[in-house]
Amino acid sequence: MSARTAIGLTGDDLTVADVWAVAVDGAAAVLTDEAREKMRAARALVERAAHGSEEHTYGVNTGFGRFVSRSIPEELTGELQLRLLRSHACGVGEPYPDEVVRAAMLLRANTLAKGNSGARVATAELLLECLSRGVLPRVPSRGSVGASGDLAPLAHLALPLVGEGEAFVDGERVPGGEALARVGLEPIALEAKEGLSLINGTQFMAAVGALGLVRARRLARAADIACALSVEALQGSRTSFLPQIQALRPLRGQADAAANVLRLLEGSAIIEAHRWCDKVQDAYSLRCAPQVHGASRDLLDYVDYTVSVELNAATDNPLVLVDDEQLVSNGNFHGQPLAFALDALAMAVSELASISERRVERLVNPNLSDGLPAFLTTDGGLNSGFMIPQYVAASLVSENKVLCHPASVDSIPTSAGQEDHVSMGNAAGLKAWRVLANCESAVAIELLAGAQAVEFHAPLEPGPGSQAARAAIRELSPRLRDDRSLAPDIEAVAAAIRDGSILAAVEAEVGELA
């Protein structure tokens, strides 16, 4: 557990950075007093609806989906919620990654903290205790159509709270009740509406979006670093990155990407050595890098806006409107905003890898590299050098072309036509997660190839920023002299893109990149 101060949940101000801190870095999260007060007020309204009113309230004293017209006796309202979890926990496939499950637990607790779901304080606190003590529900990743939120995944997430389902504790998969007992917790008995409050929402889609966005932002900066190394190695021109050029097409992402590369090229002896060469202009993968990288960055800004709103949104049904003293059926659970954003996330990072692979091709192809040895090896024939890593990058980029077909334009009716339009946001999220991993590996290949390539210009040195990048890469991957398997090197550099360590090494030298 991180030693940092616990993040206080209010339902109103959770950030993407907070989600990463809890889900990946192990920071704690707790309910604030403000949240408890809001939750108690909402709970009082639910209690009145469940026990003091004959009015039909969806999910409180009625069935679910097509069974909305079925009345449920007051004495069975708790049993209704338990059976809701059991019936909806029918997901299939491999589990979500651990960090996605932790993020979803945090987001579900934050939604409850907002005070529009009507769950008891004790229920949210048990969820946070599970997160804190390392009870990780086993949640199959397939089964959500992203309409009434992520129903099946959230049901699997919630079952351990009532002592059912399955969870991991210290890496061991055990029944939910045993998982609680191992960490000194006891299951809770659900009361009116609480099962619905736990499963009706967009938290898995939002979890993938928040964590994916952090990875994508790091990847965008890593792509700028890789581009700078390639420009150095290919003796490209720095003029395409000048701010005067970007000012004539003032897109923020383009300006930021160009500024990053220009800063990384500053002070380069390699660039200076060919300042007066007779090359007129570079290939698009170098010259148009600000425009392509920048467009991806601008698309990520849209993703950031949507996901940041969703982290603090009330996506339950019905929603508890305390000031109006109403429980209102609504459609805030529909995942269409996130489905679009997750498809956009995949497309944005895919293009970073696509143009990166083209730069790798120029680095390894002696017909394009302006003097670099074929496949960046000095003993070609006996050695293949970076021949096959370029194949790998091409394979990943091609796979992304299929994965980037949008899921968000699809729909299939469910629940006997009651839920007749769905978002497929979970499918968009699963695809985006895979595309991110592919892109991190593809850009890692360019970083490795770029580090190898600039060394052929010795004794001329690249700029301090590129030197810092090369040094960070060399900590993970020694220079390729005689052929060896580069699979571990690619994985290590991809992980360093993901955790931000390569970016941190470069920023320690040149300052924070845009």
Give residue-wise pLDDT tens across range 270-325: 988 877 566 768 999 999 999 999 999 999 999 999 999 999 999 999 999 999 99
* H or E segment to which residue 92 belongs: strand 92-95
Quote the longest CA-to-CA distance of the chain. 86
Could you report the per-residue pLDDT of 479-499, keeping only the tens digit for each?
999 999 999 999 999 999 999
The span from the CA of 203 to the CA of 153, in Å, is: 9
CATH architecture assignment, domain 208-314+341-510: Up-down Bundle (1.20)
The span from the CA of 231 to the CA of 282, in Å, is: 9
The span from the CA of 337 to the CA of 346, in Å, is: 15
Helices (H) and strands (E) in the chain, counts: 20, 9
Domain 7-201 has CATH 1.10.275.10: yes
% helix, strand, coil for the chain, step of 5 = 60, 10, 35
pLDDT at 3: 44
Domain residue limits, the chain: 7-201, 208-314+341-510
Instruction: Choose, from 58, 302, 305, 391, the residue flagged as catalytic.
Output: 58
The span from the CA of 185 to the CA of 133, in Å, is: 9
Q: Look-up: residue for tokens 């994508």?
A: 216
The two structure tokens encoding residue 385:
């050098």
pTM above 0.85, yes or no: yes
Contact 292, 351 (CB under 8 A): yes
> Which residues does the chain have with pLDDT short of 70?
1-4, 52-54, 63-69, 276-278, 280
The span from the CA of 28 to the CA of 508, in Å, is: 28
Strand-by-strand arrangement of the 172-175 sheet:
135-137, 166-169, 172-175
Q: Look-up: residue for tokens 């007093």?
A: 33
The two structure tokens encoding residue 497:
């893109």
Q: Is 270 exposed, middle or buried (0-12, 13-18, 19+ CB in 10 A)?
A: buried
Kindly report each contact of residues 93-97 with a partner whose C-beta sits within 8 Å and lies 24 or more positions away, as own/partner: 93/140, 93/141, 93/142, 93/143, 94/140, 94/141, 95/138, 95/139, 95/140, 95/141, 96/139, 96/140, 96/141, 96/153, 96/204, 97/433
Count CB-CB contacts under 10 A for residue 99.
18
Count CB-CB contacts under 10 A for residue 415.
17
- Per the annotation, the verdict on 58 as an active-site residue is yes
pLDDT at 1: 39
- Torsional sign, CA 69, 74, 78, 79: negative
Radius of gyration (C-alpha) of the chain in whole angstroms: 26
Sorted by sequence, the CB contacts under 8 Å of residue 167 that are 6+ apart come out as: 130, 135, 136, 137, 138, 160, 173, 174, 175, 176, 179
Query: What is the CB-side half-sphere exposure of residue 182 using CA atoms within 13 A?
Result: 19
Does residue 318 have a cis peptide bond before it, meaning omega lies within 30 degrees of 0? yes
- The SS3 call for residue 31 is strand
The span from the CA of 200 to the CA of 191, in Å, is: 16
Which one, of 426, 430, 350, 428, lies nearest residue 393 by Cα?
Answer: 350
